Amino acid sequence: MSIGTTQLAWFKSSYSGSQGDSCVEVAMAEQAVHVRDSKDVERPAFSVGREEWLPFVKFVAGR
């Protein structure tokens, strides 16, 4: 049974701005990692499989 993204434990990115702007939140689930804009939590979260998470982060970081 999958849970809705509103029931996940969301964590703000350490790269998010301290002024409340550019905020990205991440939540780990059994089958996926979910990413959302904390300023617009009504917008659907972006989800990626756990095995694709590290390559995604490396790509975003430009490594």
User: What pTM does this model have?
Assistant: 0.70
- Locate the domains of the chain by residue range: 5-61
Q: Which residue has the higher pLDDT, 46 or 1?
A: 46
d(CA 63, CA 58): 5
DSSP one-letter code for 62: T
Read off the pLDDT of residues 32-52 as tens digits, 9 standing for 90 and up. Answer: 999 888 888 788 888 989 899
Structure tokens at 27: 């939540």
Handedness of CA 45, 49, 55, 57 (dihedral sign): positive
